[in-house]
Structure 1
Amino acid sequence: MAKSHEIKVVRRDVQGQGASRRLRHAGVVPGIIYGGDREPAMVQFNHNEIWLAQFNDWFYSSIIDLNLDGTIHKVLLRDMQRHPYKQLIMHLDFQRVSDNEVLHASVPLTFINEDTSPAGKSSDVLVTHELKEVSVACLPKDLPQSIVVDLGELKAGDVIYLSNLKLPAGVEIPALKLGKGHDDAVVIAKTAGAEEAPAAE
């Protein structure tokens, strides 16, 4: 089970664009908590705390404990709006999760042992990471912070697909239930300069 992280939030009583602008000028980020069997809660966050948190992978893929007036809301980040050019977070959406309900989330991939693999040691082989994250389904207690992809045995010509990933217990990739056409490549090792076979006309 991935470690959960706690962030304190404060209930937001005022709404509207004007109120949100005032909050941002005061170093506060407006946001909302929704889902589950509770009413949506309009909240606000300390901008500096959120700004530091958003540099971590767990902020996007792990369950976060939002502490609102002493009540813990277990949530996943669903949307974050950023200013187009300023270092400023404009708004946050968090969705509550239930311990007994399957959730869908994007989990980052962590690649290891590429440098020591036969493909990684060869100057003639180009290793490309086709995916950086994968969409999974699982109970909240089983949500991994990342999925490790061991490239230690990778050789020229190898392709690692979604179906080849070693998933933690209780975790599945829904796309694989849709058929072989959804078994996307995760890593490709091909000889540098090799061209793809032309598609049939």
Structure 2
Amino acid sequence: MAASYELKASARDRVGKGAARALRREGLLPAVIYGDKKPALPITIPVKETTLTLHKGGFTAQIGVIDIDGKKHQVIAKDYQLHPVRDDVLHVDFLRVAKGATLTVEIPVQFLNEEDCPGLKKGGVLNIVRHTVEVTVPADAIPEAFELDLANAEPGDSLHISAIQLPEGCQPTITDRDFTIATIAAPAGMKEEEEDEGAATEEEAVEEEAASE
């Protein structure tokens, strides 16, 4: 399986908050590699390269390589901690990825043809319910993103997971319903017209019923 990034690392023997602060002053981050029925491995990784990799997007949905003093480990980032104020990366948890493994990951959703969407052209608003979709997928076939085409979406439409073509072997973790990814909210004027039409129809029905009595 092809890796999306590679980070140089070193084994870490210092633990605790004081040690973590000392590492950050040296331009390093504390991290850990775990899983695959092997002992957890505390490591240090470079702050700059890790931050750049994180900001490219899809950090927790990409296979990476951690090079620990020449020995390479295939991993996927399962969690990371950010500073509550500065958003600096403070810690990363990596999961070992064994050959043939199946992973649960969050895949981002990309919306296509917004400029051609009839619902948006008529003044509707794209309401995104899910920016990502959690799926189980073979580790060697993780898609970069799911694409949802808006070319035929009209005001009031709901767009569901069934509208996305999933790659072979990829399965949403929610399987009991065709869940919503986004909707095209109708503009206020259109809603008022529909309500007025509904009220008028109801009044006509009442008048017809009264006339027949």
Aligned counterparts of 1:150 and 1:103: Cα–Cα separation in 2: 26
* Residue deviations 1:97-155 (CA, integer Å, cap 9, x gap): 222221101111111111112112222x1221111000010110111111111111211
**Structure 1 partner of 2:52:** 52
Counting only pairs closer than 5 Å after superposition, residues 122-137 of structure 1 correspond to structure 2 as 122-123=122-123, 125-137=124-136
8 Å CA contact 1:2–1:143 kept in 2: the answer is: no
8 Å CA contact 1:58–1:145 kept in 2: the answer is: yes
Per the alignment, in what secondary structure is the counterpart of residue 175 of structure 1? coil
* Residue deviations 1:26-72 (CA, integer Å, cap 9, x gap): 21110100001322111011111111111112322111111112222
**Structure 2 partner of 1:186:** 181
The alpha carbon displacement at 1:159 in A equals 0.9
**Structure 1 partner of 2:105:** 105
Aligned counterparts of 2:181 and 2:94: Cα–Cα separation in 1: 28
Per the alignment, in what secondary structure is the counterpart of residue 171 of structure 2? coil
The alpha carbon displacement at 1:15 in A equals 1.4
CA RMSD of aligned residues (A): 1.9
Relative to its length, the structure with more helix (as a share) is 2
* Residue deviations 1:145-189 (CA, integer Å, cap 9, x gap): 11111111211221111232211122111212xx22xx3211101
- Which consecutive unaligned segments of at least 5 residues does structure 2 have? 196-213
8 Å CA contact 1:61–1:145 kept in 2: the answer is: yes
Q: Is 1:148 matched up with 2:147?
A: yes
Aligned counterparts of 1:55 and 1:70: Cα–Cα separation in 2: 26
8 Å CA contact 1:29–1:44 kept in 2: the answer is: yes
* Structure 1 counterpart of 2:55, one-letter code: F
Bigger Rg over Cα: 2
**Structure 2 partner of 1:74:** 74
Aligned counterparts of 1:58 and 1:159: Cα–Cα separation in 2: 26
8 Å CA contact 1:75–1:96 kept in 2: the answer is: yes
Aligned counterparts of 1:65 and 1:2: Cα–Cα separation in 2: 9
Aligned counterparts of 1:120 and 1:192: Cα–Cα separation in 2: 9
**Structure 2 partner of 1:21:** 21
Aligned counterparts of 1:19 and 1:3: Cα–Cα separation in 2: 30
- Which consecutive unaligned segments of at least 5 residues does structure 1 have? none
* Structure 2 counterpart of 1:158, one-letter code: D
When the two structures are superposed, what TM-score results if normalisation uses the length of structure 2?
Answer: 0.83
8 Å CA contact 2:3–2:65 kept in 1: the answer is: no
- Tell me which of the two structures has the higher relative contact order, counting C-alpha pairs closer than 8 angstroms and 6 or more residues apart: 1
* Structure 1 counterpart of 2:179, one-letter code: D
8 Å CA contact 1:10–1:43 kept in 2: the answer is: yes
The alpha carbon displacement at 1:87 in A equals 4.5
